[in-house]
Every structure is written in structure tokens, then in C-alpha cells.
Structure 1
Amino acid sequence: MSRGSREHEADDRRTAARELLMRPVVTAARHPDLLLQVRKHAPQLKRMFAATLGYQLVVEPTFARLLKAPLSVDAPVRPARTRTDKPFTPRAYRYLALVCASLLASTTADQILMSALAEQVRADAVTAGVTVGDSTTESREFVSAIYLLVDWGVLTETDGSVSGWETRQEEALLDVHRPLLPHLLSRSMTDSGGAVELEQPRRGLRRKLVENPLIRREELTEAERDVLSRERRELTRMLEESFGLIVEARAEGVLAYDVEEKLSDVVFPGTGTVAHVGLLLVNALADDLEAKAADTVLLHGRIVPGVFVPWAVVDSNIDLLIEQYGKAFGKGYTEDPAMLRREVAMLLESLSLVVLTEEGLVLHPASARYRPEPHRAPARTRAMRRLDDGDDTSGQEEKS
């Protein structure tokens, strides 16, 4: 194989790996081209994921499933989300578990009506001692669980739409992708939580860098900090070759970022009111408090990098942003600043840019990455401006 062919194969394999990180469930029905790409490189991808991150990749004719290991307890929360981008509630997770259990029953056929599935879920809930109701809210949560399985490719709307069940209980026929069902759980529910603590520090560090937007140095174990210090070059090479990620280490932490800005489930800066306010708030707080990279805070008995911001200061800044830019924000947020503050804080926490406490938040120095660079006019423009102001610079060289 020529060098060009090898490079093309490596690029194609890296693209498949990146897609699997973003989309751990791939089916022939929803992503046929991607599944073909994954199957083409299946042996290499299986070895790479196992060696680099300790993940198991299952590849079958009709689906591929990347089984990720659980992250550390201090990792940013990644909730399942509804089709309106709202985090799953505990009730929605309950319905998701009940639906999966019902679909796994030996009596469930490869096709099922919404009414039959709902009836089976209610029966299973009674057996499990779980209370479910018939309210509109309950129906909405039930539909959210169904739609998540549709998005994963476990269920397919064959006739009718699941959305009709939410308010009118309109019938819909669903195809069940039974071979995929047993692979939804990343591990047995009876497994102990010791796997994370026992894993190699190299693998643990790589996993944190691939899955988290930012790793604070104080969140690394002593062994992981040692790996980062002594093996940074090898770590950088491995993550770039495998996933196209660039490692950047600072005194306060380390991150692996994607230059193409595609390998993330949280887009920031992003569109929408919450992302917009989050970006403006980070910059406003850093300016108000004159935040510096050397700032530290005593948090939960340990010194961490960052600057403390009381909730009152956060609220006053959000009120000012609503006053200045409210016309461009969603009406629901301008009418409920507390909800806006809550969702903005959750977004920034998911990015590891802040740590939330009862009294306020700790703004991490990494937030400086999102501060706008001061605009500097090109040299010719500045020279022309001085000429316009009467400053004769003829014969002098412009220095910028």
C-alpha cells in the first residue's frame, strides 16, 4: 500500500472513531454509510478503543455499539435529552428503564403497538413496585423515553407517529431492533464501581481528556498527573492520531480540543439564549472581578484555581444582560431570570468552566479562552488615520 493510501485509510479510520465517540449507537437503518465505514475498519477500531480508552466496540451486520466505561464521579454530567433539548427527568429515566425491560421480554414481538407497549410498561411497573400515572406530564415523559430509543435506532416508527400518543393517545406501530437491545447497557447492573479506581492511570487520563471539555489539575489523581508530566508527548501523539484531538496543558489544567470544532456534544460558544448569555456572563464576570490566571479559591478543603463569584453578583450581571440584549433572548428567559441563571450555570458547569456551590460559583481560569480579543486596526489603517488627523508620517516606517 502506498503512503497516500495508508494516510487515506488512517483518516477514514479516525473519522469513524470520532463518529463513534459522538454516536455510540450506529444502525443500518439510521446511519448506513457510517456503519459500512465502521465495519470496514472494525478490527483496527476494536483494538484501538480497547487499548487507548478501555472501551469495547461491538460490530454486527445491522449495528455497531461502542460500550463506554463509566467516568469518574467528578466528571461533568451528561444527561439524556428530549427532542426539545431538555434534560431527562428522573421520571423519564424510569420510563426508559421500564420500556427497555418490556421490549426485552420474550413475549415481545419484532413489531409492537404503542398501546400494547404502554400496557406492558404499566404491568411491569406494578410488578416492580413503581408508580406510573396517566397525566399529560407522564405521557410526555413516556414519549420522551420512546423517542430516545427511536434516535438510538432501537425502535423505528413504521406506521403513525409516537408524538400522537402524548396528548391524544393516537396509535403507532413500532419495529423493534431486538439484536441491539442487550447491548444498551455498558455494563451489568450488578457490577461494582471499582473498575474506574483500578484502571491504569494512562487509560484513565486519556478517557477523561476524550470525554470531558476540560480537566482541572486538582481533579487528576497523583498517578495521572505523573503520566501527564512524563508522557505528554506520547499522550499528545496518541490522541491526535486516534481522534484528531490536540492536547493543551496549562498550570491549572489540561484539555484535548478538536480543531474542527465538531467532536463535542456541547457546542460553546453556541446559538440560543442560554449559550449566548453564558458567553457574555463569563466575560462580564472576568472583567468585573479582574480575574487572573494565578487566582485560587479554597473549595471543599482544597485550594483550586479560579475566582469566587457570589450568586448576587451573577444575578446582577444576568439582569444587566437582559436589560441590554433582552430583545434577542427567548421570552421565557427574560420573564424568568432565575431559570436563565440556572440553565446558564448548568451549561458552564458541564463545560468545567465553573464549579457550583451554595453561595455562588468558582470561575475557572480556562474561561479566559472565550474572552474576545481586542480589535487592532491594520497598520495601513492606523497610518492613514494619523494622516487624516494631521500627523505627517511621510518618510517614516510604520511599526506595529
Structure 2
Amino acid sequence: MNAPSNPAVAPLDRAAYQRAARVLLNSPLITGTFPTADALPLIRRWAGPLREDLAELFDYRLDLTATTARLSRVRDAFDPSQPARAGAQLDRPFDRRRYAYLCLALAVLGRAGLQIALSELAERVAGEADRIDGLELSLDRQPDRAGFVDAAGWLEARGAVRLADGSARRWVDDPSAGEALYDIDRDVLRALYRPSPVLQHVDTARALLYRPQGVSRDTRRRESAQRVRRALVERPVAYYADLAPGDRGMLRNPGPAAEVAELTGLVVERRSEGVALLDVSGMFSDRRFPGSGTRAQVALLLANRIADRVLDPDAPELTVLAPDPDRGQTWVRALDGAMPRADLITQFADDSDPADSADPANPAGHSVDEGDTVDDPDGAATAGCPLLEDGWLRSTLTELIDSYSTALSAAQVADPARLLDSALALLAELDMIVRVPGGVLARPLLARYRNAVVSVRPAAEPAGLFDMGG
């Protein structure tokens, strides 16, 4: 089944239009240099039909300026799988401290002139950080400087600031000897910071999530379809078990997935556990898997071993557990517990908690249409996942290290616990596992990589003192 295409896009232009949609969904902020120099002209060419389709299919809003394109998305749930990243290979997820530095840098840059020195930006961010309990930016500490420069580098990559002179890395190594000067792009700064609610009016993290407003049956069905389409493009797999009861029937309907496939050019794959959109172009993801790098390769090997263990008919039966349906609320409570309250304007804050009045059969609070089936004949809501215990994971990684030690660095071999944690974190981000106390729960997507083959290249050995060139 093919969904009807936008009549403003000619059939011969469909591939170019789909590429524009993929670029925008993958990079909601587009500037003259980010993610590539040709991205902004591509989006501007198709701005009209993109704006219509994204609003209709996802309830997203596309805003354009002379130098930016900004896709304002809505979130139905908190998702820890898409962190900001630092490093040349984007292999270092931001921690809370880096996120705080990033937010404070945005605030400082918004009040700055046309240029700012890195040291001045750091000093002003440090002054703001001193006003926040538990946060510090000490310019005398190299780890603090490195974390701050990661945040500045994230802004530089998107064009909010542009290096005019100097070197940020030299400043990190020695602030007395190094310096950097940045030009500030105000259009990009305004596009970056576009909160929907006034943050001083928000007293719970739930207020940052999308809340259905539907009253009529047709409106509720449209919102359900939009939630399902958002799940398809925001998650590696849209599992039935992860959706509210009223949305599972919508996902089983071929229409929403076909419409997303028509917009993006992706291929729909349906399984008994859920629906995935396969990216045959290799260009529609914040990270590729399988991928290069030790972390991705170890994660692939581990996924392969987990899938083999789950599907081994001769091995002892594994314990099966259902992922905690309340883990989203756990994230909400953690965010609420860390939220600063000093500047909260309580008379405007919405202190109602949707969870307080949630239907136990519909804990996500989504509208359920009278025509939808809310009973669960195939057990999607209670589907369990096999548990792989920590001891098995550690011993399996030890075997992998023994087998592939030539491809690993000495530091990785010496710290298997850190290597295991890094690989499991990647698999969790890709929704292949759910981490639980005592182990991990294997999700169905792992089975795709059961027969994966890893090509191992020996790690480069450092040259010895007396090695001679040929």
C-alpha cells in the first residue's frame, strides 16, 4: 500500500523531496554549514510541501529564516537514547554538567555582542554556574574546562558561534597560553532556543511533553495516528508493547507507516512485536549500527552472543520479565527532583499531574477511541523479554576479549567493566536491550544481528624505540 503523495511534488522529484524530509527529521536545526553546506538550500526548495506534510503527519512545525531552518518537534515521552554528543567521532554523550554548561552558554551568548573570547565566555558561564547549587565551572580544573569546551564545540558545529582566531584545544590545555575568538550568529542562537512553554511556568517535567487535546472522535484518531508516526521516526522500532492501548491498533493499521514511508523513502518492516522503518540509504540515523569503532564492534559482538543465547534451544530456559512500564515516570521524577525552584513562577505553573488521574489500563494518558480495541489478545502489553544476568554478560565479554584481543587497546583489555558498560549503553540506546538491576532484558530487535559477521583488524602497535623504517 502506498500513501498518497503531496500533489505539490512531481513524481520525478519524489526522491529529492524524500531526501529533504530525511535530512530535516534527522537534523531539526539546519544552518548554512550544519549538517552539510547543501542541506539548507535543499530544505528551502521544498519548504512549502514539507511544512504541510510535517504538520499533518506529525504535528511538527517548520520555521525558516534567511540562514536557518528549524523543525519544532513534540515529544510524547522522555527518551534517553538521543543525547547530545561531543568528540571528533561524536562518541562522548553529554553528562548533566555539559548540558548545564550548554544552557548557560546559550544564555550568556544571547546577551553578548558580535564577538566573544572563549575565556570571557567561560568566565561568565562560571559566574552563572556559581549561582546554581551543585554546579561549578572551575577554570583552574582541566576536566571542567574540557566539559565547557565540549558544550562550546556543540554550538560551533551548528554555526551558533564560528571560530575567528585561536584554538579552543590550546585553551583547554593551558588557559594562560591559549585563547580562541568566536563570531556569534544570532539567527542560529534564536533558532536553537525555541521552548514551547515559558520554562519559569513549568513545575514538572511532564509539562514539556505533548498532551493530546482531542475531543471529537475524528480528532482523537488523528492524534493517535500522529503519535504512531512520531514513534516510527523517533525510535529504532515502534514496539506494540511500548504504546498506549489505543495506539496499538493504529500501528497495526497499514496507513500511518505507509504515509511515513512515502514521505521519507524508508522501507516498512512489520513483525509480530512491532514495526520498523528500514533506512536503505544509510543516511537517516543519528548513529549507524553496525558501525565503526571499538564500542560499536563490541556491542555488535555482544548483541550476536545475546541473540544466540536467547534462541539456543539446548540451553537452560531464561527468566522472562516485562520491561518496567513505569520507567518513563522514573525519568520524570528524576528530572523533577533536579529542577531548580528558585525562579519558578508558581501562579502560572500547571501543578496538575496527568499521572494522578490516569486510567490504569492506559497509563500513558493517551486518548482511547471508542472504536479502538483496548484489550490485548496477542499479549503486546505484557510481552516479556529474556533476562541475561550480569554474571553471564561479564563472562561473555571475557570470552570476546580473549578472542578479539588483537583488535582492542591495552586500556580496553585492562578495564573490561567499562568496556561492557559502554557496549550495553549503546545497545540500550538502540532499543535492543533494557537495562535492569542484575542484568539486561533482550528485546526482539537483537535477533536481526544473530548472524552478523565482524571483520577484525589488529590494533596498531606503537613503534618501539629501535624500530627502523623500511
Under TM normalisation by the shorter chain, which class is it?
A: 0.7 to 0.9
Task: Quote the Cα distance in structure 2 between the aligned partners of 1:18 and 1:289.
Answer: 34
1:369–1:151: structure 2 CA closer, same or farther, 3 Å change rule? same
Comparing 296-305 with 82-91, greater Cα deviation is found at 296-305
Task: Quote the Cα distance in structure 1 between the aligned partners of 2:33 and 2:288.
Answer: 27
1:142–1:76: structure 2 CA closer, same or farther, 3 Å change rule? closer
Q: CA deviation at 1:268?
A: 1.1
**8 A contact 2:323–2:434 mirrored in 1:** no
Question: What residue is the counterpart of 2:18 in the other structure?
Answer: 14
Letter aligned with residue 202 of structure 1: A
Task: Quote the Cα distance in structure 2 between the aligned partners of 1:127 and 1:138.
Answer: 16
**8 A contact 2:15–2:265 mirrored in 1:** no
Are 1:205 and 2:228 matched, yes or no? Answer: yes
Aligned with 1:198: secondary structure?
Answer: coil
Q: Superposed, which structure 2 residues align to 1:274-353 within 5 Å?
A: 274-290=295-311, 296-300=320-324, 303-353=382-432
1:198–1:341: structure 2 CA closer, same or farther, 3 Å change rule? same
1:223–1:101: structure 2 CA closer, same or farther, 3 Å change rule? same
Q: CA deviation at 1:274?
A: 1.6
Q: Deviations over 1:211-264 (max 9, x none)?
A: 1111222111111101112x31x2232111111122222222221121222211
Of 112, 131, 134, which residue of structure 1 is paired with 2:136?
131
Task: Quote the Cα distance in structure 1 between the aligned partners of 2:397 and 2:131.
Answer: 48
**8 A contact 2:323–2:384 mirrored in 1:** no
Task: Quote the Cα distance in structure 2 between the aligned partners of 1:147 and 1:344.
Answer: 25
Aligned with 2:398: secondary structure?
Answer: helix
1:300–1:37: structure 2 CA closer, same or farther, 3 Å change rule? closer
Letter aligned with residue 70 of structure 1: R
Question: What residue is the counterpart of 2:368 in the other structure?
Answer: none
Question: What residue is the counterpart of 1:81 in the other structure?
Answer: 85
Q: Deviations over 1:8-53 (max 9, x none)?
A: 3222221111111222222124544221111111111111111111
Q: TM-score of the superposition, structure 2-length normalised?
A: 0.73
1:299–1:356: structure 2 CA closer, same or farther, 3 Å change rule? same
Q: Superposed, which structure 2 residues align to 1:143-182 within 5 Å?
A: 143-169=149-175, 170-182=178-190
Aligned with 2:382: secondary structure?
Answer: strand
Q: CA deviation at 1:96?
A: 0.5
Question: What residue is the counterpart of 2:343 in the other structure?
Answer: none
1:295–1:55: structure 2 CA closer, same or farther, 3 Å change rule? farther
Aligned with 2:127: secondary structure?
Answer: helix
Question: What residue is the counterpart of 1:258 in the other structure?
Answer: 279
Q: CA deviation at 1:76?
A: 4.6
1:70–1:373: structure 2 CA closer, same or farther, 3 Å change rule? closer
Question: What residue is the counterpart of 2:361 in the other structure?
Answer: none
1:32–1:298: structure 2 CA closer, same or farther, 3 Å change rule? closer
Task: Quote the Cα distance in structure 2 between the aligned partners of 1:227 and 1:183.
Answer: 33
**8 A contact 2:305–2:450 mirrored in 1:** no
1:8–1:174: structure 2 CA closer, same or farther, 3 Å change rule? farther
Q: CA deviation at 1:366?
A: 2.2
Q: Give structure 1 stretches of 5+ with no counterpart.
A: 375-400
Task: Quote the Cα distance in structure 2 between the aligned partners of 1:221 and 1:56.
Answer: 24
Higher alpha-carbon Rg:
1
**8 A contact 1:246–1:257 mirrored in 2:** yes
Q: Give the total of aligned pairs.
A: 365
Are 1:59 and 2:64 matched, yes or no? Answer: yes
Letter aligned with residue 87 of structure 2: R
Structure with the larger helix share: 1
Question: What residue is the counterpart of 1:273 in the other structure?
Answer: 294
Task: Quote the Cα distance in structure 2 between the aligned partners of 1:275 and 1:120.
Answer: 38
Of 65, 68, 76, which residue of structure 1 is paired with 2:73?
68
Task: Quote the Cα distance in structure 2 between the aligned partners of 1:131 and 1:168.
Answer: 19
**8 A contact 2:241–2:383 mirrored in 1:** yes
Question: What residue is the counterpart of 1:248 in the other structure?
Answer: 269
Percent identical pairs in the alignment equals 30
Of 219, 228, 243, which residue of structure 2 is paired with 1:220?
243
Task: Quote the Cα distance in structure 2 between the aligned partners of 1:240 and 1:60.
Answer: 28
CA RMSD of aligned residues (A): 2.4
**8 A contact 1:83–1:144 mirrored in 2:** yes
**8 A contact 1:54–1:203 mirrored in 2:** yes
Comparing 177-186 with 140-149, greater Cα deviation is found at 177-186
Aligned with 1:57: secondary structure?
Answer: strand
